[in-house]
A = this chain, B = another copy of it.
Amino acid sequence: MTTIDAGQIVERIAMKHGAGGRSMRALIEDLLVDRASPVALGMDDGAAIPVGDRWLIVSTDAHVIQPIVFPGGDIGRLSICGTVNDLAMMGATEPLGLTCAVILEEGFAVGELRAIRRSMAAACDEAGVAIVSGDTKVMGRGEIDGVVITTTGVAMTDLVVRDSGLRPGDALIVTGTVGDHGMAVMAARHQLDFRRTLVSDVAPVNGLVRAALAAAAGAVSAMKDPTRGGVASALHEMAAKSHVGLVLQESAVPVRDEVRAASELLGMDPLAIANEGKALLGVRPEAVEAVLAALRAHPLGRDAAVIGTCSEEGPGSIVIDTGFGRRFLTEPDGELLPRIC
């Protein structure tokens, strides 16, 4: 039995199948999504289920980051923010609760577990959410690398925002600098010299998103958080699902100097690097100023910027305007940074 990835037959899972890029989408679409069966995975950041006259939003994420402690956060903080942010991307900014399933390796230090738990509690406080149920499993030494945490969030909302809602003419807003999380984790993992200047952006953005929606609820047409595969993957998925083309102004994309320097040194594109405290918003033209103002008034949105627009041309494609010319932005295959979240 095999699956097809970019025209090639694949018989075994590779790292890139978990990296958030084209290969992962191909695997999920071929193997896991089956519209004729009750098993249908990976359609959006979460699912929207009608309950009465509202929507129940449910989203799940497994967190396998390595190292478990990194500049700016740890696996505990990440596992809370990852799921809170997925709910927020669907318009559900006030979670009813999270569940948490922890898998531990035999011999894992209790002190480390306690530190992770403290970090989860602090992130819950920031996001205004509680862990309401959980599960603990232990695997033998060498059967799992330390600790893995899967969180699932539930929330109710009156209005669901999809990642497929972009329309021609919409402006594309990013809520802050890009590439911070991935570069910080990579520098820490490989003990790179400049690691002390890089810090992950991992944070719950539900409050930030709530402010944007309050400023112009119906005018936010689509949202997605640019995690694995970065802004490039997220925009490719949004453009393909929305059947629009995107034109990105390269100079408008906020990137920290340290991240830009590290990316250039390593030959990586900040647009393809993971973020854990950012959101991409599609916004109707008439509401752009109001949304930008609301975002910039929030501590997590000070660097918010319009980075592009949606058009009818080239649905599913992304064109970068460099100021000197235009080129296509390809979708990352996604094998650059394993275990980034």
Across the interface, do B117 and A31 meet the contact criterion of CB distance under 8 Å? yes
Query: Are A339's CB and B139's CB within 8 A?
Result: yes
Q: Does A269 contact B (CB under 8 A)?
A: no
Q: Does A7 contact B (CB under 8 A)?
A: no
A-B contact pairs, 29 of them (CB 8 A): A3-B110, A10-B110, A11-B109, A13-B105, A14-B138, A15-B138, A15-B140, A16-B138, A17-B104, A18-B139, A32-B136, A39-B117, A40-B130, A40-B132, A46-B99, A46-B133, A49-B97, A51-B51, A58-B132, A60-B101, A60-B133, A60-B134, A99-B152, A135-B150, A137-B339, A139-B339, A142-B142, A143-B144, A144-B144
Q: A119-127, A161-169, A283-291, A314-322: which lies at the B interface?
A: A119-127
* A262 interface hit (Cβ, 8 Å): no
| Oligomeric state, in copies | 2
Task: Please classify the interface of chain A as helix (H, G, I), strand (E, B), loop, or mixed, using the class held by over half of its residues.
Answer: mixed
CB distance from A226 to the nearest CB of B (A): 16
* A183 contacts across to B, CB distance below 8 A: none
A-B residue pairs, 4 tightest by C-beta: A18-B138, A1-B111, A41-B134, A47-B132
Residue in contact with A137 in the complex, picked from B18, B105, B111, CB distance below 8 Å: B18
Which B residue sits closest to A119, measured CB to CB?
B39
Flag whether A252 is at the interface (Cβ < 8 A). Answer: no
Contact assessment for B1 and A39 in the assembled complex, using a CB-CB cutoff below 8 Å: no
Known: A31-B117, A42-B136, A114-B1. A109 touches B60 (CB 8 A): no
Q: Which residue of B lies closest to A228 (CB)?
A: B137
Q: Does A218 contact B (CB under 8 A)?
A: no
Decide if A248 is an interface residue (CB 8 Å cutoff): no
In the bound complex, residues from chain B placing their C-beta under 8 Å from that of A43 are 133
Question: Does the CB pair B60–A121 fall under 8 Å?
Answer: no
Most buried by B among A16, A18, A28: A18
